[in-house]
Structure 1
Amino acid sequence: MSRTVPKRSPRARTALLAACALIATAAGTAMAAEADVQAAAPGCSVDYAVQNDWGSGFTTAVTVTNTGDAVSSWDLKWSFGGSQQISQGWNAEVSQSGADVTASDVGYNGTLGTGDSASFGFNASYSGSNAVPETFTLNGVACNDDGGGDPDPDPDPTDPPGDKVDNPYAGAKVYVNPDWSEKAAAEPGGTAIADQPTGVWMDRIAAIEGTADARGLRAHLDTALEQQGDDEMVVQVVIYNLPGRDCSALASNGELGPEEIDRYKNEYIDPIAEILGDEKYAGLRIVTTVEIDSLPNLVTNTGSRPTATPECDVMLANGNYVKGVGYALGKLGAIDNVYNYVDAGHHGWIGWDDNLAASADVFYEAANAEGATPADVHGFITNTANFSALKEENFSITDTVGGKSVRESAWVDWNRSVDELSFAQSFRQRLVSTGFDSGIGMLIDTSRNGWGGPERPTGPGAMTDVDTYVDGGRYDRRIHVGNWCNQSGAGLGERPQTAPESGIDAYVWMKPPGESDGSSEEIPNDEGKGFDRMCDPTYEGNPRNGNSMSGALPDAPVSGHWFSAQFQELLRNAHPAL
């Protein structure tokens, strides 16, 4: 059963330190010393967590919680006690003068209601000791003070465990799936990444209880409790079993027929919700990726579009993608420690003008279906199990060559984004304008988008023409941006990390590296997974990939099964390199 404590707003942050009691003027407000503006009565707590310290530098995640009246902007200040020097910050404007540091909001996270939080992070160097700062001020008022001047490090007893935080990854470890880790470690060189956290895929009903080669959901959560210790712990669970699943790609078809929405609800979502809602797991932060490659299909692969399929037309007509996603969001979002991130495709799918607004509208429709509300959506995830480069640094959307925009190149093909980071950040704003909470965060799957190795360009292409310029400089070396199956030349991407860029909650490895996208030829199986020619290296393509070769590796097994040759290639082409 789910916990019964009342939930806060969808992006509220649990106060990890006691709130401060503050004295305001008789009118209940304080006046800024140097400005003729009225400020709300403040109060605050700060969670400052060093996530990685390598002896000469460190990464820190900071969460500031407003325990006083609402504010429309904020400045958090502290002083280092040693030689710490900040080199990079994200989700806040971070400046430093000597030992004194100021972190200011970046607009979209400036408004904090009572109980609301903002999270940001930074990298810094140091020598000698790296002591945690002792005092912080929010808009000039001391934080983490009980009003009598004595720090109170104990959690607020009225703030129950499991209450939603702004960024579930902030200050938390992330679950390492032992089933995947064991396979990775058994590969030559695999121990270098075997301790990385990856997603747990519930890709059929049988996966809930477990199969011969993978533990079930409850067993994963029990193992997560063992890994947790005294820390916060994130567990990443992929919800992936819609009726008529993935109507445009046979390799990832599922076990449920297009009309089996009741089975999806009763035999799949309900049992998952019952397990996740068990009080035993209330101390875990459970991040769900909700139904990969589903809702965007209703926009791009239906109707009169050349990429349309009859199967996607059926799912648009019966509404079961929208109903299924809505039901999952409502049931799982009602659990206090579950954070729903809806899959939002990738830049090479919905980055075009015709697709952006239409996709956001479909997501919003699903978030209001079957009892769900937009408050059940904590954020969105892009590039799940895909290969789109995180950052294309050798060209930008505003570049021109010979009077032609980069958007006119064959590779970009009038897309609004050239890489996944720019897409995730811009699409986040589109989603907010559509009606989602302004605090939603984005995840980006970086498990296979590194594109390193000796073929990685070291600079821009020649300025001969726009195609030469783009093709010579692009990191993403797929034949076509629509190619998605076991791509030749791919490499591991950025390692999982928290709050790496503005609006991004985390880079994650939701797709476990080494697990196949689909078989290179037809392989009978009892998992409902078909054979898709996009996984056949001899396939010459279709309108969805510009009638290009598939770029797929040969000798691949059924989707989700271990593919050693792919794993080895990902290791060789990792960027950053291992």
Structure 2
Amino acid sequence: MLPLATAVQPAAAAEAKLDNPYAGAKVYVNPDWSAKAAAEPGGSAVANQPTFVWMDRIAAISGSSAAKGLRAHLDTALAQGANLVQIVIYDLPGRDCSALASNGELGATEIGRYKTEYIDPIAAIMSDSKYAGLRIVNVIEPDSLPNLVTNAGGTAGSTDACATMKANGNYEAGVGYALHTLGAIPNVYNYIDAAHHGWLGWDSNMGPAATEFKKAATTGGATVNDVAGFIVNTANYSALTEPYFKVTDSVNGTTVRQSKWVDWNYYVDELSFAQALRTKLIGEGFNSSIGMLIDTSRNGWGGTARPAGSGPLTSVDDYVNGSRVDRRIHAGNWCNQSGAGLGERPTTAPATGIDAYVWAKPPGESDGASQVIPNDEGKGFDRMCDPTYTGNGRNGNSMTGALANSPLAGAWFSAQFQQLLANAYPPVGGTTTDTQAPTAPTGLTSSAKTSSSVSLSWTASTDNVGVTGYDVYRGSTLVGSSATTSFTDTGLTASTAYSYTVKAKDAAGNVSAASTALSVTTSAGGTTDTQAPTAPTGLTSSAKTSSSVSLSWTASTDNVGVTGYDVYRGSTLVGSSATTSFTDTGLTASTAYSYTVKAKDAAGNVSAASTALSVTTSGTSNGSGCTATYKVSSDWGAGFNADVTVTNNGTTAINGWKVTWTYGGQQKISNLWNGSYTQTGQAVTVTNAAYNGAIGAGGSASFGFGATNSGGSNAVPTLTCTAL
């Protein structure tokens, strides 16, 4: 992990493209921002940090007496001996359709002006041969493509302005033009903005986002080769890491995903989100060399409000609220957040897949005005910047948590800078005594037991300086310690229930919160085994034909070991397997079958059944058939999200498809992506979008949707797929 300050001289000519442009770079420090930071009490400690320069209107390209233009910044970078300059490209037509504070100067239809008056002049300056030795990193249009994913399709966060931009295609056309035009310059590196975990962290958002990013990156002559990577958390406050809880934690058997703060998200911090999104984007077709940037300018969340350990185990909400370092009222709050602090200093290659931590939003520059301020920059008054506003659907109808007396977006906000400095984490001005406790151990389980002993194992904790060991408690009694993630408690009584917890500790003597308690009953005297294996999980159809279904599942666990599995079609035992796979044969074409699997051990104990899986066999092969599988990705009772995969199981390509089904309850689709749908009563018909109808032999396409349910279960319906 290297700081962004390695001194090198800029090359005389453009160097070969790098996988990571920040490697070995001396990054430009904007003297305009630096002077404002240094003028604040204590600000000189961070005034030498590199920040991005925002080209947020056409006039910013040429600059003014108050602020340098693009060419002046590049010239100053050369004078500094820097070889990397960071620019934000931010002036799309109808810019930031969901937030008034950051509205721009160009109307929704002015794509021509965007190209000729904004992108083309920027490209002309960047391509000047005198700057060939500068690596120029561009962040492309913050919030634009994420708005098309979540705020333009009839969802709770939708706006008419975002729907307009989705319909006219100017966001995609503008992003594609910027990528293609700027990406043609040899020393330019383009990073597309990808929002943050609190925006796209649900499967129902991340998948469509990756598809949308790929669509924009291949529009108007652009290709994936014009994209060096993506940036998350631009100008936002989401924590880099949450040290005191993980998305996999549970409290009294309830997952933390069910807490009000997490709200069923799959991520709780930006690092895990960025790394997962990178994998998703590579799978979508982006180059495997892409890297991620994370804006850490305002996500430190230090100060006296920062927790020192995990929250209480009284409920998932108490646990999460007591654990989280992100102290916002709601993860959807984005404007001048009270209590925020400077985050990690700009750093090169700090983690796998991450090109750099950067300060994309210069600390001290306002997100928006807390009241109406007339201006000629097209920036409106957004109530999310008003500390008295009681919120809307996008922030859970909670208070905004915004600072009072804030100026227009981009203007210097001294009170905010002072707060960021005071609440910096890591703190500004050197190291401090380690007071950060390790995270609580998770996954505590009994790996073996007898009539007089219990063997335990758990998942390792994390700590800012490293875990040195674990203390194991039986009830409230410390029964031993371990330097590893396992321990055996001996001298116990047969057929007796014991409750165990584990705590982690570090070299400074900090101790974590206790793990979730585990109750274990010792075996009866002798060697009789009465403990059944756990139920198999992850049952899925790995392949199918018109007369067979191949199944696979995740192995079960047992105190003495699993010997095999029984497979049921409905209530009928159709076979057994010593492995975690089985093929059921002799079936009828185009017929739905329901499967479950049970595990068994040497003593004859049998597990509970796995969750049932419904599989419909393929139709009679005619060279152009298709099948569709339906998966509920999240379910909260009154609503759910689902994903459907369409597979061409024929021997020739198909040019379109139609999927139909009939619900058994009161399910009603509210929004659908990657396809078109009609619903009449309980009957649903979905046809392909223009871009995913053609599927080669053996290939697949997918669509997803959100739905409500006012009655009945969210059981998986039987699907019929027709090749068109």
Q: TM-score, normalised by structure 2?
A: 0.58
Could you give the per-residue CA deviations for residues 305-363 of structure 1, whole angstroms, max 9, x where no partner exists? 01110000000000000000000000000000000000000000001111001001110
Give the corresponding residue for 2:363: 513
Q: Please say if 1:193 is aligned against 2:193.
A: no
Give the corresponding residue for 1:179: 32
Look up the equivalent residue of 1:467 and give its one-letter code.
Answer: D
Q: Please say if 1:398 is aligned against 2:251.
A: no
Q: Please say if 1:444 is aligned against 2:297.
A: no
1:329–1:377: 8 Å Cα contact kept in structure 2? yes
Q: Distance in 1 between matches of 2:217 and 2:231?
A: 15
TM-fit CA distance, 1:197: 0.3
Matches within 5 A, 1:261-272: 261-272=111-122
Helix, strand or coil at the partner of 2:189: strand
Q: Distance in 1 between matches of 2:203 and 2:64?
A: 43
Look up the equivalent residue of 2:133 and give its one-letter code.
Answer: G
Higher strand share: 2
Q: Please say if 1:358 is aligned against 2:211.
A: no
Give the corresponding residue for 2:422: 572
Give the corresponding residue for 2:139: 289
TM-fit CA distance, 1:243: 0.2
Q: Distance in 1 between matches of 2:225 and 2:357?
A: 23
Q: Distance in 2 between matches of 1:449 and 1:499?
A: 18
Q: Judging changes above 3 Å, is the alpha-carbon distance between structure 1 residues 453 and 556 closer, same or farther for their aligned structure 2 residues? A: same
TM-fit CA distance, 1:50: 7.7
1:200–1:237: 8 Å Cα contact kept in structure 2? yes
Helix, strand or coil at the partner of 1:380: strand
Give the corresponding residue for 1:276: 126
Q: Judging changes above 3 Å, is the alpha-carbon distance between structure 1 residues 442 and 375 closer, same or farther for their aligned structure 2 residues? A: same
Look up the equivalent residue of 1:282 and give its one-letter code.
Answer: A
Matches within 5 A, 1:370-449: 370-449=220-299
Could you give the per-residue CA deviations for residues 245-271 of structure 1, whole angstroms, max 9, x where no partner exists? 000000000000000000000000000
Helix, strand or coil at the partner of 1:500: strand
Q: Please say if 1:494 is aligned against 2:344.
A: yes
Q: Distance in 1 between matches of 2:136 and 2:157?
A: 35
Q: Distance in 1 between matches of 2:422 and 2:52?
A: 22
1:51–1:60: 8 Å Cα contact kept in structure 2? no
2:4–2:346: 8 Å Cα contact kept in structure 1? no
TM-fit CA distance, 1:161: 2.8
TM-fit CA distance, 1:60: 12
Q: Distance in 2 between matches of 1:50 and 1:504?
A: 12
Matches within 5 A, 1:49-68: none
Give the corresponding residue for 1:299: 149
Helix, strand or coil at the partner of 2:145: coil
Q: Please say if 1:343 is aligned against 2:201.
A: no
2:402 is matched with which residue: 533, 546, 552?
A: 552
Q: Judging changes above 3 Å, is the alpha-carbon distance between structure 1 residues 179 and 401 closer, same or farther for their aligned structure 2 residues? A: same
Could you give the per-residue CA deviations for residues 378-417 of structure 1, whole angstroms, max 9, x where no partner exists? 0000000000000001000111101111111110111111
Give the corresponding residue for 1:368: 218
Give the corresponding residue for 1:115: none
Look up the equivalent residue of 1:190 and give its one-letter code.
Answer: G
Q: Please say if 1:469 is aligned against 2:319.
A: yes
1:536 is matched with which residue: 386, 404, 411?
A: 386
Q: Distance in 2 between matches of 1:316 and 1:540?
A: 29
Look up the equivalent residue of 1:360 and give its one-letter code.
Answer: A
1:334–1:376: 8 Å Cα contact kept in structure 2? yes
TM-fit CA distance, 1:162: 3.1
Q: Please say if 1:243 is aligned against 2:93.
A: yes
TM-fit CA distance, 1:186: 0.6
Q: Judging changes above 3 Å, is the alpha-carbon distance between structure 1 residues 197 and 60 closer, same or farther for their aligned structure 2 residues? A: closer
Could you give the per-residue CA deviations for residues 189-241 of structure 1, whole angstroms, max 9, x where no partner exists? 1101000000000000000000231100000000000111xxx6110000000
Q: Judging changes above 3 Å, is the alpha-carbon distance between structure 1 residues 274 and 60 closer, same or farther for their aligned structure 2 residues? A: closer
TM-fit CA distance, 1:303: 2.2
Q: Distance in 1 between matches of 2:4 and 2:21?
A: 17
Identity across matched positions, percent: 69
Q: Distance in 2 between matches of 1:561 and 1:204?
A: 14
Q: Distance in 1 between matches of 2:70 and 2:7?
A: 31
Higher RCO (CA < 8 A, seq sep 6+)? 1
Could you give the per-residue CA deviations for residues 265-303 of structure 1, whole angstroms, max 9, x where no partner exists? 000000000000000000000000000010010110112
Look up the equivalent residue of 1:194 and give its one-letter code.
Answer: A
Q: Judging changes above 3 Å, is the alpha-carbon distance between structure 1 residues 352 and 384 closer, same or farther for their aligned structure 2 residues? A: same
2:3–2:346: 8 Å Cα contact kept in structure 1? no
Helix, strand or coil at the partner of 2:87: strand
Helix, strand or coil at the partner of 1:295: helix
Helix, strand or coil at the partner of 1:512: coil
Q: Which runs of 5+ in 2 are unaligned?
A: 429-724
Q: Distance in 1 between matches of 2:2 and 2:357?
A: 18
Q: Distance in 1 between matches of 2:178 and 2:3?
A: 32
1:50–1:60: 8 Å Cα contact kept in structure 2? no
Helix, strand or coil at the partner of 2:144: coil
Q: TM-score, normalised by structure 1?
A: 0.72
Q: Distance in 1 between matches of 2:251 and 2:64?
A: 55
Which stretches of structure 1, 4 residues or longer, exceed 4 Å deviation after superposition?
49-53
2:17 is matched with which residue: 164, 168, 175?
A: 164
Q: Which runs of 5+ in 1 are unaligned?
A: 1-48, 54-58, 62-154
Look up the equivalent residue of 2:157 and give its one-letter code.
Answer: T
Which of 315-324 and 294-303 deviates more? 294-303
TM-fit CA distance, 1:377: 0.3
Q: Distance in 2 between matches of 1:398 and 1:506?
A: 26
1:51–1:171: 8 Å Cα contact kept in structure 2? no
Q: How many residues align?
A: 427
